[in-house]
Chains A and B, each alone.
Chain A
Amino acid sequence: MKELNEVIRLVVLEKRDIVLSVVFGFLAGMSAVGLFASSGYLISKAALMPPLYALTVLIAFLKLFGFARALGRYAERYFSHRATFTILSNLRLSFYKKLEPHAPRVFQKYRSGDLLSRIVGDVESLQNFFLRVYYPPVVLVIIFLGTIVFTSIFSIGVATVLLVGLVLTGLLIPAWYTVKQRKLGNKVRHARGNLSTEATEFLYGFRDLKIYQQLDAKQENLQHAADAYLEEQEKDSMQMLSSHSWNTFVTLLVSWVVTGVGALLVAEGDLNGLFLAMLVMVSLTVFENAVPMAVLPSHLQDSKLASERLFSIVDGEGEDKGTLLLERGNAPEIVLSQVHYRFPGETRDVLKDVTITIPSGSKTAIVGASGSGKSTLLQLLMKFQTPVMGEVTVNGYDIQHVTEESVWQHSNVVLQENHYFYGTIRENLQLASDDSSEEEMISALEEVGLSFKLDQPVLEKGENLSGGEKQRLSIARAFLKGERLWLLDEPASSVDALNEKEIYKHLYERAKDDTLVLISHRLSGLERMDQIVVMDDGSVVEQGSYDELMKRQGYFYEMKQIENNIFS
């Protein structure tokens, strides 16, 4: 259960709602028992022809229990669901607090982009933990104890039988199925992942599969994966069903024993026959509360797996060890010396022996084909990654000793993918700085060629903006931040050439005395850079100003020739 410690801690925080749902759950359960007990008693009493007023009182009781049960059930549901959603909120918050210090470093560990939606899904599946795993046994036990105490007034024997029934349906059978469920493990999940991969390959690789005549074989694989997934799902459903059936059977069996024991006691004269019908009804009713126990094992297993996955994401992640703060107000100097980098778990270096000096206030362009290591280089400068070998220094300090926050605080960053939040243009710009004036924001937008109103809405992830608009908005955001180190990763790749020129003009004005590092795929417009660093396959192959490189007629020159040759 230690996987769930953290979750349990968060559940227990919601004391008030938990206590209320347990109280009302108990009330509803006991009223149901009372309702059926009194109806059993009523009918027996009626058979003995009592005075009419005795019946009237009993019927009044019956109604009372009936209403109490229905209302109790309503209140129980209300409070338990409210607790569940509050717990969901606590879970999100607690997970966010855990993840936040490690972002964005931790994201690099997972290449697939679905990490985030998986996190969201796992957190959401944990909301079931309270409702389906934690809460039902508690209510079950309390109701049973109440019922057993009540029953023992009439017959210790029957009370004992009920107690055995509680142990069986509330403990032994769920425990048995929990073990079995663990054996089934997450095969369903695995088979599902497999099918999804096969389907993705089939559809995305369709053209190549068709031409290479692999379509039939692949189709067969896909069908197999679909069948395997189905089989696992079926096994899972059958397991659930059989858990349910055994639970019901034991429940009925206990009522049978209660009937038998009751009948025996009455026949022997140890129990008044008036109460037999009542006891049978009590037994049939009280086990209604054991029904949720049938689904408990599978929810327990799901919760465990989800919790394990969630909290293992940040396991083994080191904290940022930097303590130094960068000084505000001067343009930093950055030096990379003999830097090597490789992604965790990979064998090949993506950066090999990279040495670059970026003087304070200089403008540097990093160019190269896709996959040459340009973006990884920028990530080292942003301290998203630390080199495997070699050193990155900022103003003479090893970047490892500088805090991440301080690096980010003092740089204007535009990444290839930038996030925009649901809200307005103004809110998205204000991320950069709270004290930008209206005029500053408008002029930043003008400089990047956007004619947005500040109150214009932005949808989630900026869905209502085009690629070029998003990039320009990011640049405007960087303009407003106004720090003295610029780190730009293909900031204008989706902007047309004319606008790009205009934006760069303003960029150079604003960054006149600042240190600027620009990653660019396009080779045009690099004439005014102080130095151009050419990367190929993780290494620096050339370095120099535009004129120098063109004169040298080396790698850069040839790339430039090819670019000139390309029709697009």
Chain B
Amino acid sequence: MKHLSRLAFSHRKMIMLLIFTSVLIGATIIGQSYFFVAIVDRIFLDEQSFREILPLLVGLLLVLAGRTLFTWLNGRTGVKLASKAKRHYRQSIIKKFSRNPVQTSLQGQSGRKVSVLMDAVDEVDGYFSSYVPQMIQTMIIPVMILIVVFTQHIYSGLIMIITAPFIPLFMAIIGVMTKKKSEDQMEKMNAFSGKFLDTLQGLTTLKLFGRSKQQQKEIETSSLGFRDATMEVLKVAFVSSLMLEFISMLSIGIIALEIAIRLVVFESVSFFTAFFILILAPEFYLTLKDFGSAFHTGRGSSGAANQLSGELEKEEEGFGWGEAKLGREKPPLIQLKDMSFRYEKGFSMENLQATILPRSQVAIVGKSGAGKSTLLHLFAGLMKPDSGEIFINDRPLFDYQQREWFSQLSYISQNPYIFSGTIADNIAIGDEKPYTRNDIKKAAEKAGIAALMESLEQGYDTPVGEGGRGLSGGEKQRLAIARTFLKRPSVILFDEPTTGLDLKTEHILQRSIEELSRFATIITVAHRLHTIKNADQILFLDNGELKGQGTHEDLLETVEDYRAMVSAQQGGDTT
């Protein structure tokens, strides 16, 4: 909540405008009452002619128009303020996301993050568009009315001052009561309201077991149960507004009674004053009551506000890149020197040393959880080592320009991401070089997707990704290979699929890696024996520790754990 109010009050101009329009609204409320009363007074008691009150009627019309205009202006400012705030939040969150280190996007938090960007931001709207303007009005208008009433008839003013605090007091008491009540009912309400979705999601299962008809009864029972639980909570809320109504009515009644007695018995106030106060009194209590409902809206935003500030306060360090250029003549020499990396909890990788020669094929091997993917991300420059460095051509990786490094790099993941766009767009993604359709076709041919293109009505212009055609796992892999053929990078990082793909893709992968290895260094998280056997060098990882380096034969001879792993794998397929 604090965060929200700080943001709201940082827009000084808008807050000033809100204050200004609130004062004007207050003035028009008072003016409106004055004119109505004056007209009735002159016509009824002074028996003036219609012509004489005409100026008053004109004045009244102007005031009424003014009230509408200022209320509109006030509301508009609220809407604009809400837009500004939402824009500010979205911008900061998007910025935050773009500095987002790769691990968070891999930790399956993406869905939650989308919801923060969409829903949490939308939920703070009420705070700015309704709560803040109403709060300002409540601080100004009742005070203005009170001052006017005091100038007219001091006792009515006193009654107002004494009775007014009862409204927020009761509101607070009732707020506590409803909160408890709704907490009691919450579980019930959630269970009942979830039932419908649960049933729809289970409809296939229900149909298969021939139970879907019976479920109608359940839906009805749970919906009515939801109704009854909700009504329990609502009843408390309705009683609360009933109480508020009684309080304000009682107060108005006291005021009316007091005025009437003065008017008739003591003849100490005029008709004008009496009528004026009688019209102003309800406006006074109305503004206070309105604040109550705005307050609820404001409180509704606090959960979302906490979510937002939680998201924004998490400091994730970005890492800087340098300015050095990287030649393209031949693949670089890559070295790990005393490199260590730790996750916040548990896993760590300590003091890795390795040298990867240009155009060599390296296989990273190890059990799941050994740190293979982490190592691949470190090679990619998507994560930064905690100590030690990766050296590229004898300079630390992060000395180079980011674009210099990434433009020489390809990363083929197990589940390559397909962007919404055409297939051609997806193959040609991310290179500043303008590619001709011919280049794309050649790459597609090498990656074995040319035949697929021909089978599609729109060929290379077929939309894929979100809202487009779905691709099978094998097709995605081949598309990623096509990207690589087109880009011709000097370093390729490859996360080999853990399960078998269709034979065609399997063959293409093997053949492509062979072809690509002629001009690039390939570092593979390997899951296939032939990849491992073909590697010039194997990095054997065990729980973050580099247990062995060398060729397959070397490691079989020298590293006990490696031998055990290979024989376990080969023993596992006797079935």
Contacts and interface: CB of A to CB of B under 8 A. Distances in A.
A456 interface: no
A123 B100 contact: no
Interface string A252-284: 110110011011101110000110110011001
Contacts of A262: 43
Interface string B252-282: 0100110110011101000100110011000
Nearest to A88: B223
A267 B49 contact: yes
B154 interface: no
B545 to A, nearest CB: 18
Given A47-B45, A244-B75, A256-B61, A213 B203 contact: no
A93 B219 contact: yes
Contact of A249 (B64, B194, B208): B64
Contacts of B570: 564
A316 to B, nearest CB: 19
A481 B257 CA distance: 79
A141 B235 CA distance: 27
Interface string A394-420: 000000000011001101010100111
Q: Which of A81, A199, A284 has the most chain B CB atoms closer than 10 A to its own CB?
A: A199
B501 interface: yes
A567 B118 contact: no
A475 B209 CA distance: 13
A371 interface: yes
A395 to B, nearest CB: 20
Nearest to B470: A111
B204 A203 contact: no
Nearest to A280: B36
Contacts of B471: 371
A195 B197 contact: no
Contacts, number: 396
A407 B4 CA distance: 59
Interface in A73-96: 73-74, 77-78, 81-82, 85-86, 88-89, 92-93, 96
A226 B97 CA distance: 14
Contact of A245 (B68, B206, B420): B68
A78 B236 CA distance: 10
A42 interface: yes
Chain A contact residues (Cβ within 8 angstroms of B): what range?
35 or more
Contact of A103 (B65, B207, B226): B207
Contacts of A197: 420, 466-467
Interface in A81-139: 81-82, 85-86, 88-89, 92-93, 96-97, 99-100, 103-104, 107, 111, 116-117, 119-120, 123
B249 interface: yes
Given A100-B213, A238-B76, A562-B506, A52 B278 contact: no
B60 interface: yes
B75 A241 contact: yes
A347 B463 CA distance: 13
Sorted nearest first, the 10 A-B pairs with minimum C-beta distance are: A371-B472, A212-B430, A89-B223, A419-B202, A85-B227, A369-B502, A273-B44, A47-B271, A205-B417, A203-B110
26 contacts: A42-B260, A66-B253, A69-B249, A70-B249, A77-B238, A89-B223, A96-B200, A99-B200, A103-B204, A200-B114, A201-B465, A207-B382, A219-B94, A233-B83, A238-B79, A241-B75, A260-B57, A263-B57, A267-B50, A280-B36, A346-B469, A347-B457, A348-B455, A419-B205, A432-B209, A562-B503
Interface of A: 39, 42-44, 46-47, 49-50, 52, 55, 59, 62-63, 66-67, 69-71, 73-74, 77-78, 81-82, 85-86, 88-89, 92-93, 96-97, 99-100, 103-104, 107, 111, 116-117, 119-120, 123, 192, 195-197, 199-215, 219, 222-223, 226-227, 230, 233-234, 237-238, 241-242, 244-245, 248-249, 252-253, 255-256, 259-260, 262-264, 266-268, 273-274, 276-277, 280-281, 284, 346-348, 368-372, 382, 404-405, 408-409, 411, 413, 415, 418-422, 431-432, 460-461, 481, 497, 521, 524-525, 527, 536-537, 555, 558-559, 562-568
